Amino acid sequence: MNDFPFDIVGFDLDGTLLDTHGDLADALNHAMAKAGRPPVPHAETRDLIGGGSKKMLGRALDLTGGRPSDAEFGRLHAALLDHYSRNIANHTKPFPGAVAALDALQERGVRLAVVTNKYERFAREVLGTLGLAERFFVILGGDTLGPERSKPSPDLLIEMTERGGSANCAYVGDTTYDTQAARAAGMPCVAVRFGFCDREPEQLGADALIDHFDDLIPALASLSR
Ligand SMILES: O=C(O)COP(=O)(O)O
Ligand SMILES: [Mg+2]
């Protein structure tokens, strides 16, 4: 008998399942060059990611002289997206143990979902390139329901439960966008310490914290709804 406590486990993408910061940094710096701004070192990009690509670009511009006009911002954002779409998995790879953890959950009969603030088409493309897309019964992005319904709104997580036909779900993320969305959806949330955490991991408001994906199954098993 399967006594695992959840039917569905949803995953955030950037900073949780996938270390995407190198390719996001290259796309960001393509836009920064167009703006005449200095590049952001790859490692520092980790602190700028969260809430979608517009927020990442805005933070980088704020740090290097401030925001341009809305029209110029739109042009820079389009350049960032164009570069990213052509270079989506040059550096990106799953975090250590992530694929084995997905295997272990699927062996327990758990269905998997991706709920990200990344545009849905980019989430599908990067997961497809890495050979992971087929594992997920649903992939929801920051534009799937419209930007105002992206995380920290609970709406994408509620959509996941509706499409999966079960409210017995947990979520795994790396930022307050994730933990706040899960809390608002009434869903237990595990946070990873190795992601692009927007504050100290202990301050994220997660129900459990993990240092490595090897710890995910026991962390989820310890959470009861
Ligand atoms: O693209 C972002 O800014 C965040 O994406 P995530 O929701 O997968 O972390
Ligand atoms: Mg994330």
Residue 1 has pLDDT above 60, yes or no: no
Going by DSSP bridges, is the β-strand pair 169-173/189-192 parallel, antiparallel, or unpaired? parallel
Please state the atom number of ligand 1 nearest to the C-alpha of residue 117: 7
Lowest mean pLDDT among 2-11, 143-152, 202-211: 2-11
* Nearest residue to 49 via CA among 25, 29, 74: 25
Q: How far apart are CA 38 and CA 24, in angstroms?
A: 16
Q: How far apart are CA 127 and CA 112, in angstroms?
A: 13
* Nearest residue to 138 via CA among 48, 2, 10: 10
* Nearest residue to 182 via CA among 157, 159, 201: 157
Residue 68, exposed/middle/buried by CB under 10 A (0-12, 13-18, 19+)?
middle
Tens-digit pLDDT profile for residues 204-215:
999 999 999 999
Tens-digit pLDDT profile for residues 105-128:
999 999 999 999 999 999 999 999
Q: What average pLDDT score do residues 163-177 get?
A: 97
Is there a shared CATH topology between the 8-19+93-222 domain and the 21-86 domain? no
Q: What local confidence, expressed as pLDDT, does residue 45 receive?
A: 94
User: Has 12 been annotated as catalytic?
Assistant: yes
Tell me how far the alpha carbon of residue 118 lies from the centroid of ligand 1, in angstroms.
5
Looking at the CA of 118, name the nearest ligand.
Answer: 1
Kindly list the protein residues that place their beta carbon closer than 5 angstroms to ligand 2, a single-atom ion: 12, 14-15, 174
Average predicted confidence (pLDDT) for the chain: 96
Domain residue ranges of the chain, discontinuous segments joined by +? 8-19+93-222, 21-86
CATH of range 21-86; options 3.30.365.10, 1.10.286.10, 3.40.50.720, 1.10.150.240: 1.10.150.240
* Nearest residue to 168 via CA among 109, 104, 86, 101: 109
Task: Give nearest CA residue, ligand 1 atom 9.
Answer: 14
Q: How far apart are CA 141 and CA 121, in angstroms?
A: 8
Asked whether the CA dihedral 123, 42, 93, 30 is positive or negative, the reply is: positive
% helix, strand, coil for the chain, step of 5:
45, 15, 40
One-letter amino acid for residue 159 of the chain: E
Indicate if ligand 1 lies below 6 Å from the C-beta of 15: yes
Q: Look up the CATH number of domain 8-19+93-222.
A: 3.40.50.1000
Q: How far apart are CA 143 and CA 117, in angstroms?
A: 7
Tell me how far the alpha carbon of residue 15 lies from the centroid of ligand 1, in angstroms.
8
pTM of the full structure = 0.95
